[in-house]
Amino acid sequence: MTSLVHAAPSLPPSLRPAAWALRTQFFVAGAMFATWGVHVPTVKAHYGLGEQSLALAMLASGVGAVLALTQAGRVVGRFGPRRVAAAMGLLLCAAIASLLLTQAYAGLVVTMVVFGCSASLFDVSINAEASEIEARAGRPLMSGFHALFSLGGMVGAGVGSLLPAWGMGAAMHLMLASVLALLMVWGACAAMLPMQGPADDTHPLSLPRGPLALIGLLAALGLIAEGAMYDWSVLFLKQERHSDVSLAALGYASFSLAMALGRFGGDAVRARVAPIPLMVLSGVLAAAGMAMALLVPAAQAGLLGFALVGLGLSNVVPVLFSAASRIPGMAPAHGIAAVSAVGYLGMMAGPPLIGLVAEHSSLTLGLGCVVLFAVFMAVAAPRALRQAGSP
């Protein structure tokens, strides 16, 4: 937290309001993802779903994200991050608020499509704004912005774990969280930079090739693991470890807290540890943490394991984005955008895949995929990063 407090005063005065506004947007994005994650068991029970039906609803969110990502650059380029963030913030909050307003499965699927579409466009818009602020400031700021996403996830999950004990129902929590988030988004939009998107973002989504493809694959695997924590950690503790709702919600909170701390300290770590050993260590730590959560039959072990997963994954995206920006013969912005797109698709598609495995076996086995993905990251990282010229 200290790095965050001291970051803002060193910015030019003209950028400080926009930087704090953007931190608010990242915080809200994390809190909204956490609010959905906390209520996955609630949604499952409300609609009477099995793991496969729940996974298909999550897949609908991924479809919405894919559709939005194919046009995200054009939309942000035409209207600018501020307008897109305001509009997509409204849709995102409306989707969260309406999760339990119907008993029809088709209604849930439509809601999840809107959720995926609005969340991905909101994400692209605030990252475009972050890139602009970073460029104008002339120094790295991205890790601090993304740390606020993790902090928002921790706060959102923590609040979600406390409210049942205070007698607040799930529908009321979703409505109040959405209203508060929308007020924060619109208040922050007023202070965002009135910029248009960069020219390179006016083209439709393209997939990476060559060395960039392997970096994109690693980003996708890392974000699949991250998405699994968003969508399945609470349900795992409740269903597999028979925890009560309040304790189960802390599973996501422990993951988000560890990831936030890892990102707040990420710049200092990256200054001391080369990218290849850092990626190897990150993959091993995430795999070990997930294995602990799955193999030790105690809820407390699950909380510790999820925290280790968060710490292990915290620096994966910054390392891979940095490598993508140094691909020979390719503009840095294009490399980062391509890896980001593939990674985001992995984040949206991974949880439904885990749900399908869980439907035909168990959620424990489904989450075992996270262990395999983390091990693959550790093994494949040296080759991927050497191709990008990283030590």
Q: Are 240 and 363 in contact (CB under 8 A)?
A: yes
Q: Are 236 and 363 in contact (CB under 8 A)?
A: yes
What type of residue sits at position 65? A
Q: Are 388 and 326 in contact (CB under 8 A)?
A: yes
What CATH class has 11-193? mainly alpha
Look at the block and give the residue holding tokens 């849930």: 108
HEC secondary structure over 62-108: HHHHHHHHHHHHHHHHHHHHHHHHHHHHHHHHHHHHCCCCCCCHHHH
Q: Which two tokens stand for residue 17?
A: 């309001």
Residue-level pLDDT at 291: 96
Confidence band for 9, pLDDT divided at 50, 70 and 90 = very low
Same CATH topology for 11-193 and 207-391: the answer is yes
Q: Which two tokens stand for residue 201?
A: 């973002």
How far is the C-alpha of 85 from the C-alpha of 290, rounded, in Å?
34
Give the H or E element holding residue 240: none
What type of residue sits at position 312? G
Q: Where are the domains of the chain?
A: 11-193, 207-391
Across residues 143-156, what is the average pLDDT? 84
Confidence band for 2, pLDDT divided at 50, 70 and 90 = very low
Closest by Cα among 145, 350, 127, 105 to 232? 350
End-to-end C-alpha distance for the chain, whole angstroms: 29
Backbone angles phi, psi at 313, to 5 degrees: -85, -10
Residue-level pLDDT at 206: 53
What average pLDDT does the structure give for the chain?
83
Q: Has domain 207-391 been given CATH number 1.20.1250.20?
A: yes
Per-residue pLDDT reduced to its tens digit, 74-111: 787 788 889 999 999 999 999 999 999 988 999 999 99
How far is the C-alpha of 265 from the C-alpha of 267, rounded, in Å?
6
3-state secondary structure of 169: coil
Give the H or E element holding residue 121: helix 105-137
In this prediction the pTM is 0.74
Per-residue pLDDT reduced to its tens digit, 152-188: 887 887 888 787 777 788 889 999 999 999 999 999 9
How far is the C-alpha of 35 from the C-alpha of 54, rounded, in Å?
16
Per-residue pLDDT reduced to its tens digit, 350-371: 777 888 888 888 889 989 999 9
